[in-house]
């Protein structure tokens, strides 16, 4: 979802030696249909009616196209979002209908093939940072609406993003033909999965949105050594949405029903609130998920949000046994009595307690709780380290119009202090995650483009 998809480039490129210059449309849940547009007597294409354009815009929201193809402050979908990789920099393409700089010359058949099969209009393979393995299961009607929207509902812009700095031989695309053949489902096969029978039509709709346009598995499903998702749908087994690998410094958590590290304690309404407002009683959005809410899920209808939530709540936990989490007041009692002898307690009181409180419950949904938070109890501390290092923004949404910022602590905490405070919150209030050592913090905090972390004496 969003920028995080491109982070996969840095892991896939060295394996298959091809370019990381994704060109075609990394947007919305699309599929194939053909046909040119018939013009009415006024010369306006008959299929560019307002209702169809609105439908296409809605699907573009559901697939979060803007996050990768729109630079903040620039016109929508004009591309140019930079992504730095070990072998160079790439930029997202212009996907407006400009005929020379965007996709204005693409036929609907070419558009659909790019989305569903990862093949550009010139026949070249696209880099799988564009999640065509998920988009392959989109319906013809949704692809058609998307094509109409991007052809007639988006303003054409004559801008070309800067050229990639990826050099040969990593710029070769032909090895992707074999990757696609092995790991990307053919649209006609994927659509059968899309249309599989569910006992509940609401869950069926949720499955379509999550597995198709939402492409949630691109981040939240583990990948094999050859970088394909180990499961593309819930029908492929319990690894689907069981938690992904590191993406752009974050570790996407499980979206299944684990009590401690998944959504097992989240109600349907909690999930809906998270997708609509980026915050819920048990956690808040950060990183790429904050972008996904800001550009996409907040615009979905209540019916679709509840469908997504109901589908996610139908996914059984992967980890068994799965003991329940229970709040332990011992840490709260110690802090309120002024006892900061535990490792990291002093750092927590000085830097964290004002927002997250002595009891670790925070002020939902503005300042998220740390007690019982699935991300806090994740086996991997990547996301926690990234939040301390980069900071985080809870985006403003239509129903929660104020944004809130957690600052970066890169200038105020040393790596040792970061390790200490993370170890503290991972073992407090009933949390039971492993401690974090200073070498892990250093490993997870590259300083390129950001202030170097300074060693500071402990208080």
**CATH number, domain 330-443, options 2.30.30.60, 1.10.760.10, 3.20.20.70, 3.40.50.1820:** 1.10.760.10
CA atoms within 13 A on the CB side of 218: 32
Res 85: pLDDT:
65
3-state secondary structure of 208: helix
Q: Where are the domains of the chain?
A: 4-187, 330-443
> How far is it, in rounded angstroms, from Cα 84 to Cα 7?
9
Contact 232/133 with Cβ under 8 angstroms?
yes
> What is the pTM for the complete model shown?
0.86
| Region class of 360: left (phi > 0), else alpha (psi between -120 and 50), else beta | left
Res 30: pLDDT:
35
Res 253: pLDDT:
95
3-state secondary structure of 280: strand
CA atoms within 13 A on the CB side of 352: 29
> How far is it, in rounded angstroms, from Cα 235 to Cα 401?
38
Contact 415/409 with Cβ under 8 angstroms?
no
> Is 280 exposed, middle or buried, given 0-12, 13-18 or 19+ CB atoms closer than 10 A?
buried
Contact 426/434 with Cβ under 8 angstroms?
yes
Task: Average pLDDT across each block of 10 residues of the chain; the chain has 459 residues. List them in order.
Answer: 45 38 35 36 57 96 91 90 74 93 95 94 87 94 96 94 86 87 93 85 96 95 92 95 88 95 96 96 92 95 98 93 92 97 97 97 93 95 95 91 92 95 98 96 68 38
Res 236: pLDDT:
94
């Amino acid at each position: 979802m969003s920028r995080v998809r491109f982070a996969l480039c840095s892991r896939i490129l060295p394996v298959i030696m091809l370019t990381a210059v994704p060109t075609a449309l990394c947007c919305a849940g699309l599929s194939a249909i053909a046909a040119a547009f018939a013009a009415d007597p006024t010369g306006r294409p008959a299929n560019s009616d307002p209702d169809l354009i609105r439908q296409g815009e809605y699907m573009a929201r559901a697939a979060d196209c803007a996050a990768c193809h729109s630079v903040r402050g620039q016109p929508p979908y004009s591309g140019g979002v930079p992504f730095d990789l070990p072998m160079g920099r790439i930029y997202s393409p212009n996907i407006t209908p400009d005929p020379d700089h965007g996709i204005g010359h693409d036929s609907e058949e070419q558009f659909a093939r790019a989305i569903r099969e990862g093949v550009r209009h010139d026949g070249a393979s696209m880099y799988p940072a564009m999640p065509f393995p998920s988009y392959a299961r989109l319906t013809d009607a949704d692809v058609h609406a998307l094509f109409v929207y991007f052809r007639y509902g988006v303003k054409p812009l004559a801008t070309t993003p800067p050229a990639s700095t990826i050099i040969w031989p990593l710029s070769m695309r032909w090895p992707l033909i074999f990757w696609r053949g092995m790991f990307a489902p053919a649209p006609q096969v994927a659509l059968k999965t899309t249309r599989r029978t569910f006992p509940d039509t609401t869950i069926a709709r949720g499955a379509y949105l999550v597995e198709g346009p939402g492409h949630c598995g691109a981040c939240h499903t583990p990948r094999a050594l050859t970088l394909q998702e180990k499961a593309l749908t819930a029908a492929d087994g319990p690894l689907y949405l069981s938690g992904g690998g590191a993406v752009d410094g974050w570790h996407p958590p499980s979206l299944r029903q684990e009590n401690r590290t998944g959504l097992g304690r989240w109600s349907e309404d909690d999930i809906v609130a998270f997708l609509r407002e980026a915050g819920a009683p048990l956690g808040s959005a950060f990183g790429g998920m904050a972008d996904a809410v800001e550009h996409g899920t907040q615009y979905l209808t209540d019916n679709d949000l509840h469908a997504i939530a109901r589908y996610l709540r139908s996914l059984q936990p992967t980890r068994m046994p799965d003991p329940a989490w229970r709040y332990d007041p011992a840490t709260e009692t110690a802090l309120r009595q002024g006892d900061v002898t535990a490792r990291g307690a002093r750092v927590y009181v000085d830097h964290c307690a004002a927002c997250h409180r002595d009891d670790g419950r925070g002020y939902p949904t503005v300042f998220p709780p740390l007690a019982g938070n699935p991300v806090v109890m994740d086996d991997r501390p990547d996301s926690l380290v990234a939040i301390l290092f980069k900071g985080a923004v809870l985006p403003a949404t239509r129903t929660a119009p104020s944004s809130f910022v957690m600052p970066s602590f890169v200038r105020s905490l040393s790596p040792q202090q970061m390790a200490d405070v993370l170890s503290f919150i991972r073992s407090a209030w009933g949390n039971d995650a492993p401690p974090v050592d200073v070498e892990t913090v250093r490993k997870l905090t590259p300083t390129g483009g950001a202030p170097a972390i300074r060693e500071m004496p402990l208080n």
